[in-house]
Structure 1
Amino acid sequence: MKILAGNLYIKVILILFGCFISLTARGDEKPLKLLAVDFPPYEFETPVNGLKGFDVEVVEEVFRRIGKSIEVEFLPWSRAVKMVYAGKEKALLTCGHNTERDKNLYFSDPISVGTHGYFIRTDYPGPELKSLEELRGLNVAAVQGYSTQKALEELGIEHAIVRTDTIALNILLAKRIDFYYAAIEGNLFIANQMDITDEVM
């Protein structure tokens, strides 16, 4: 994996305005539903060794301290975002800022951090890139709806869109793409789970 300079991003909870107000004003005992995507090590759809993921556990503890509970529902990310934008659900966990999200959502304070960069096969003979712009014209993919995909879209960089990180890593290994632009930490964890850390970098 290669970190592209200037692409440090903040992992945050996104909460629609009025969510906390409605919980406290009505004394609602129903858990607050947070929509998320399986995104280890921040959120695990299936707990690993009893761990739910750093962000899930932090948010659970925050709500426990104010006497409330949460329910995390895992969906494909694009669907989760659309449901919150449409007002069908109140909150998302976890993602970073981008132009579209900043227009539609209120962000909590940061609770974790991550870095953006690209993955290549260890045998890829191409040049090392120094900036996001250098992905222009290359065979690159990103996960649909993620801030990495939105960044490529906003810059007008042509790219393949995939549904999950695992799919992206698999098509990278299959040589259907040469670059996978993504969150580094989560994808290193996934690559380790897939036992492919010696095949991608």
Structure 2
Amino acid sequence: MPRLHRALVLIGLLLLSHNACAQKLRLVADGWPPFTDSTLVNGGLATDIVSTALARAGYATEFEQVPWARAILGIGEGRYDVLISAWHSEERTRIGQFSAEYLLNRIRFIKRKDASVEFDNLQQLRAYPVAVVRGYAYSREFDEDPQIEKVPVRDFAMAARMLTAERVKLAVEDEYVARYYLARESPKVRNAVEFLPKPLSENSLHILVSLKNPEHEQIVAGFDREIAAMKADGSYARILEMHGM
């Protein structure tokens, strides 16, 4: 009997091990510091939150960083299981299932501290050249307004320097992203600019789980459950704090 018991235990452990391997989820994102970046601690803020929540829900994960277009294509084809950072869109519901919101992106304008610039409506922006990161979307109304002079730049770091040099009147960026880049700029740049109070838009951040994964509903349910639990037990706040947020 003891030998039989040991054999049954061994079989059970082997089955559990096999099941755990089968449940390993392939996470994907593009480089978007401080949210997702393989050079940052635990892959960045969003990667850390998502992998922690999924681990608590019983899923092992591995993270790959690829260009955005490849990430979306991979979710649609089932080569990846979870897109870490996605804004909701109807088009994307055809390739994946969205979780509930787990972070909020606030898109804000940044100006020079000594500039008399205000933002209450889009019409006011038509008087100012605005630095925008090439290829990014901010809000449909802003993006599609032909009367707003948008100056395309490589990244927000360039936008901040142009703002300091008075080559543009405004820059626009997600607040977390802007704070991340400004913290790495010289005091001359960092101390010369400030956020305008009113955000351009607020976009909820979700994971997008590939519909090709047969357990996409369970994955989303487990993720949402653990995000709520992390907020309740303080571990969510500790991750934000660890990443300087």
- TM-score relative to the length of structure 2: 0.55
**Alignment partner of 1:152 is 2:145:** no
Report the CA distance shift for 1:32/1:152 in structure 2 as closer, same or farther (over 3 A): same
2:220 maps to which residue? Answer: none
**Alignment partner of 1:102 is 2:96:** no
Contact 1:171–1:177 (Cα < 8 Å) also in 2 = yes
Q: How far apart are residue 182 of structure 1 and its match? A: 1.4
Contact 1:36–1:92 (Cα < 8 Å) also in 2 = no
Larger helix percent = 2
Q: Structure 2: how far apart are the matches of 1:85 and 1:145?
A: 21
* 1:1-55 CA-partner distances (Å, limit 9, x unpaired): xxxxxxxxxxxxxxxxxxxxxxxx9x74554131132321x334322xx454332
How many residue pairs get aligned? The number is: 169
Q: Which structure: larger Rg?
A: 2
Task: Spell out the pairing of 1:171-182 with structure 2 (5 A cutoff).
Answer: 171-182=162-173
For structure 1, which segment, 140-149 or 114-123, has the greater mean C-alpha deviation from structure 2 after superposition?
Answer: 140-149
2:174 maps to which residue? Answer: 183
Query: Gapped runs of 5+ residues in structure 2?
Result: 1-18, 195-245
Query: Gapped runs of 5+ residues in structure 1?
Result: 1-24
Amino acid across the alignment from 1:94: S
* 1:32-82 CA-partner distances (Å, limit 9, x unpaired): 131132321x334322xx4543321121112223443333333455x4566
Q: Structure 1: how far apart are the matches of 2:160 and 2:113?
A: 12
2:112 maps to which residue? Answer: 121
Q: How far apart are residue 169 of structure 1 and its match? A: 1.9
- RMSD over aligned Cα, in angstroms? 3.2
3-state secondary structure, aligned to 1:109:
coil
* Paired-residue identity, %: 21
3-state secondary structure, aligned to 2:183:
helix
3-state secondary structure, aligned to 2:191:
coil
Q: How far apart are residue 104 of structure 1 and its match? A: 2.4
2:209 maps to which residue? Answer: none
Q: How far apart are residue 137 of structure 1 and its match? A: 4.6
For structure 1, which segment, 147-156 or 127-136, has the greater mean C-alpha deviation from structure 2 after superposition?
Answer: 147-156
- TM-score relative to the length of structure 1: 0.65
Q: How far apart are residue 153 of structure 1 and its match? A: 1.8
**Which one of the candidate residues 124, 128, 153 is aligned to 1:138?**
128
1:65 maps to which residue? Answer: 56
3-state secondary structure, aligned to 1:39:
coil
**Which one of the candidate residues 22, 26, 35 is aligned to 2:29?**
35
3-state secondary structure, aligned to 1:58:
helix
Q: Structure 2: how far apart are the matches of 1:75 and 1:144?
A: 18
Amino acid across the alignment from 1:162: V
